[in-house]
Structures are given as structure tokens and as C-alpha cells.
Structure 1
């Protein structure tokens, strides 16, 4: 027996296709909304983590800045202490310098030379005196340049004739001179130098 479908099957098929299409569209919209929501949640999570990292870095940077400021203050205090220590050491050295200077001038001044004036400006000393001959002045310069621990770089400024009357009858022909010499601090000065000096004598 042959069955003939007299219902409008094409409209039914078209209707089912529409329903399937709308169902697919709804499902796709739901999936898209879910993906967007998941991406938004992920972005929020990453943003929160980055903000937490930024906050941690800001806190650590603040701590480091405080430590750097403390280190800078310590360095300035150390420099101030060093400058004070150097000032004290310079004062101690300068206090003993005149004694050593006079001692060195006395030791290295040859016979026939008489010192008339000694002037010191910082580390430079100007010496004026009277000598019997030019050779005495040359010997004085050699002694100051070779054998002295405190005198350095002697330099003759001028030398000229000076007639000095010894008494009413005699007149001596003398030389008036002026020289410049620098003051140096011996390397062996200090506790180690003081300890090694007796060893050299024995």
C-alpha cells in the first residue's frame, strides 16, 4: 500500500531549520558570553596581581630610599670625623714643626753663617742671614737639600755684599743672603718610625 503525505512537509522542514538555527544562535551567544566573562575575570585577576606587585615594589623602594638616606648620612658623618681627625693630626704636626725646624737649621748651618730672620708661611720658610763667603751659603744649601729630614727644596733668593762694622776701626766684608726652603714631614715619623730608630742605633 502506498502512503501519500498530504501535509505541507516543506514548511515543516523550514520550521525545524529555523528552530535549529535559533537554538544554535542562542548556544553560540551563551558560549560567547561565557568566554567574555572568563576573559574579564582573568583580566581582573591579572590586574589585581599587578597592583599587588606594584604596591610591594613601592614599599620596597621606600625602604631602600630610607636606607640610602641613612647610608648617605653615615658617609657624611664619617667624612666629618675624618676631616676632624686630619685637623687634629695637622695641629699635632704643626705644633712640633717649629721645634724640628729650628733644630734642623741649627744642625745644617755651617760655621761662618749667622741667621738673622726666619719667617714661615704655611709650608715655606724664608731664611735671612749673613755669611762670611759665598761658599758658606752654598754649603748651607747642600746640607739642607741632602742631609735634612725636615727641609726640602732649598732655593737661593738673593745674595749681596753687606758691610758690617765690627768696631770703630775694623770693617768686615760679608754677604747678606736670603733663601727659601720647604718643610716636609719625614716618612719614618710615628710609632713605627719611633720603634725602628733605636734599632738603627744599636
Structure 2
């Protein structure tokens, strides 16, 4: 027996295909919404975590800034204390400089040289004196240049004939001596006082250097 389907099967197939297509679209839309919602929730969670990290970092940075300010203030206080300590040490050292200077001049002044005045201006000392010969002045300059732990850079400013004195009244023409006035400058070395200079410095003259007699 032969069966013949007289219904519009092609239209029925199209309708089923359309239904399947729309059902797939709906499922895809629902799946997309679910995925988008899950992604949005994940992003919100990550954003919340990052905001929490940022807040924690901001709080720690604020703590570190406060600590840095404290450290900076402590450093400034330490520098101020060091400056005061250096000022006190410099004052203590400079207080004894005239004594060491007079003692050193007494040690380096050769025979035949007599000091008349000593004037210190900062680290420069101006010296005026009388010498028997030019060689005595040169020896004084050499001593302050090479043999002194306190003095340096000696400079002869002026030397001239001061006066003539008779050694004896019987033969004045033969024993007549000529004296020389000289002026020089010398600089103080920026050194700590040597240990062996403290003891002899205590016995140095307070106003002028003792001159050695020929």
C-alpha cells in the first residue's frame, strides 16, 4: 500500500529550522549574559581586591612618610649636634693656638733673630723682628718652611737696614755692627696640636716669643 503525504512538509521543515535557530540564539544569548555577568563579577572582585591593596599601600606609604620625616628630623638634629661638637672642638683648639704658636716660634727662631711683634689674623701670622744678618732671616724662613709641624708658607715681606751699633767704645769703627729690620708672614697649618707640644707649650711666654741670644 502506497502512502502519500499531502501536507506541506517543506514549510514544516522551515518552521522547525527557524525554531531551532531561535532556540540556539536564545541559548547563546543566555550563555553570553551568564558569561558577561560572571566576567563582570570577576572584574568587580578584582577591582575590589586592587582597591584594598591600594588602600593598604597608601596606609603603609603614609606610615613610611611619617617615619621618613622622623628620620629627617633626627638627621637634622644629629647634624646640628655634630656642628655644635665641631664648634666646641674648634673653640677648644683655637683657645690653645696662641700658646702653641708662641712655643713654636720660640723653637724655630734662630740665634741672632729677635722678634718685636706678632699679630695673628685668621690663619695668617704677621711677624716683625730684628736680625743680625740676612742669613739669620733666611734660616728663620727655612725653619718655618721645613722644620715646623705648625707653620707653613713663610713669606718675606720686607727687610731693611735698621741701625748700626758699636760693639765696643775703643774700636767702634772696626766692630761696628749693622742690624736689619724684617717683616714676614707665615700661615698656620690646620692640624691638631701634637702630643709632645702640650707640655712645653704650658711654659711658653703669654705675650711674646722668647728670643734666643747670639
Give yes or no for TM over 0.5.
yes
CA distance in 2, matches of 1:113, 1:142: 13
- Which residue of the partner structure matches residue 102 of structure 2? 102
Contact kept, 8 Å, 1:149 with 1:185, in 2: the verdict is no
Worse-matched range after superposition: 94-103 or 151-160: 151-160
- Which residue of the partner structure matches residue 43 of structure 1? 43
Distance 1:83 1:3, change over 3 A: same
Q: Secondary structure at the match of 1:48?
A: helix
Distance 1:29 1:12, change over 3 A: same
CA distance in 2, matches of 1:127, 1:146: 18
Residue 183 of structure 1, aligned match among 165, 188, 207? 188
Q: What's the TM-score, normalizing by structure 1?
A: 0.82
Contact kept, 8 Å, 1:113 with 1:132, in 2: the verdict is yes
- Which residue of the partner structure matches residue 55 of structure 1? 55
Contact kept, 8 Å, 1:131 with 1:174, in 2: the verdict is yes
For residues 114-193 of structure 1, the aligned pairs below 5 Å read: 114-163=114-163, 173-184=178-189, 186=191, 189=194, 193=195
The Cα of 1:81 is off from its aligned counterpart by 1.3
Q: Which has the higher contact order (CA 8 A, sep 6+)?
A: 2
Q: CA RMSD in A?
A: 2.5
Correspondence 1:11 to 2:16: no
- Which residue of the partner structure matches residue 21 of structure 2? 21
Q: Which has the higher helix share?
A: 1
Contact kept, 8 Å, 1:157 with 1:180, in 2: the verdict is yes
Contact kept, 8 Å, 1:154 with 1:181, in 2: the verdict is yes
The Cα of 1:17 is off from its aligned counterpart by 2.5
- Which residue of the partner structure matches residue 93 of structure 2? 93
The Cα of 1:11 is off from its aligned counterpart by 3.4
The Cα of 1:32 is off from its aligned counterpart by 1.4
Worse-matched range after superposition: 97-106 or 52-61: 52-61
Q: What's the TM-score, normalizing by structure 2?
A: 0.78
Distance 1:5 1:146, change over 3 A: closer
Gaps of at least 5 residues in structure 1 are: 198-202
The Cα of 1:118 is off from its aligned counterpart by 0.6
Q: Secondary structure at the match of 2:155?
A: strand
